[in-house]
Amino acid sequence: MDLSIGEVAQRSGLSVHALRFYEREGLFANPVRRLANGRRVYHEEELEWLAICTKLRSSGMPLATIRQYIELARQGAGNEHERLELLRRHERQVEAQVRELQEALDVMREKVRIYEEHLARGEADRLWNPSHAEADPGPEQACR
Amino acid sequence: MDLSIGEVAQRSGLSVHALRFYEREGLFANPVRRLANGRRVYHEEELEWLAICTKLRSSGMPLATIRQYIELARQGAGNEHERLELLRRHERQVEAQVRELQEALDVMREKVRIYEEHLARGEADRLWNPSHAEADPGPEQACR
DNA sequence: CTAGGTCCTAGAGTCCTCTCTAGATCAACA
DNA sequence: TGTTGATCTAGAGAGGACTCTAGGACCTAG
């Protein structure tokens, strides 16, 4: 069953603008089919691919890399190792990003912990304050 | 001991351009001090704050939010609950982002698994291929 | 004295990913 | 028939975070 660009927008979560933009950017395996009047027609196939695209995007894969990937697929059999390598590379990047986020979380949790502790003790005024940092850094100087 | 903008750039990993940019954007608690000839002078204090900034940035906190945070700190005691709330909010966002990345990883790992399996069996040519997708989708149609 | 290196300001340019506008076409409905 | 409402194209605009340029000052070494 045929889908209009509006329906695809609704079901994919992308805007119609984004869909046309993705097409211009060569992110579809095949040229999007058109009706006699020039309107785009999509099918489940495209919807599934868009779902994958948004997953890749949400993990930070740039459109350029998605394009590379779909270009390989478009070329047909013979470059599966390349596609695999591309996926693996991104996988490693995402893993690194997760580690980075965890580290940032550690830092934030530590700060939250210190704030909570001080607030609980009613000693908030002893927290680091830029305007007296030098006058009296106090025991919690690192707490910004 | 005093640090020039170049030294701070080296030690913080930010470019001198970025440091001046951050300053314009109001990301420092205090106006950066200057020598008589107009050159910036930094100290450990700023370096520590920049380390925190880059952690926050690497976890996706926008500069505008960092500015909000430092503005609260600049106002001094009394708004600790707000600072805490700001941190907690970002913490939740980062946690959500980690979950999103994990989901994307699951999708990618599944694709990698399928590719590897097919390559191992020498059946790569049966993988999905945009140009014959309709002619012969095969048993692995979902594998792009 | 001059060449090189670091610094200054103000502002323009870049990259990425959309998002929006303008102006036109077309189908369905009251 | 007239008015929505969805679609089309081409291209401009936006937002975020830098990055770079131009033009000038200053310091140090050779």
CA A23 to chain centre: 19
Q: Mean pLDDT over all residues of chain A?
A: 88
A2 neighbors A41 (Cβ within 8 angstroms): yes
Say whether domain B1-76 belongs to CATH 1.10.1660.10. yes
Query: How far is residue B129's CA from residue A79's CA, in Å, rounded to a whole number?
Result: 11
Contact B73 A115 (CB under 8 A): no
All residues of chain A having their beta carbon less than 8 Å from the beta carbon of residue B131 are: 30, 74, 76
pLDDT (tens digit, 9 = 90+) per residue, A82-110?
999 999 999 999 999 999 999 999 999 99
- For residues A138 and A126, the answer to whether their CB atoms sit within 8 Å is yes
- Tell me the domain boundaries of chain A: 1-76, 80-144
Q: What is the pLDDT of residue B134?
A: 39
B77 in contact with A at a CB cutoff of 8 Å? yes
d(CA A110, CA A104): 10
Q: How confident is the model at residue A142 (pLDDT cuts 50, 70, 90)?
A: very low
* Segment B10-47, tens digit of pLDDT: 999 999 999 999 999 999 999 999 999 999 999 999 99
Structure tokens given for A83: 């596609």
Neighboring chain A residues of B78 at a CB cutoff of 8 Å? 124
Say which amino acid occupies A72: L
Q: Closest-CA residue in chain A for B128?
A: A73
Confidence of residue A127 (pLDDT cuts 50, 70, 90): low
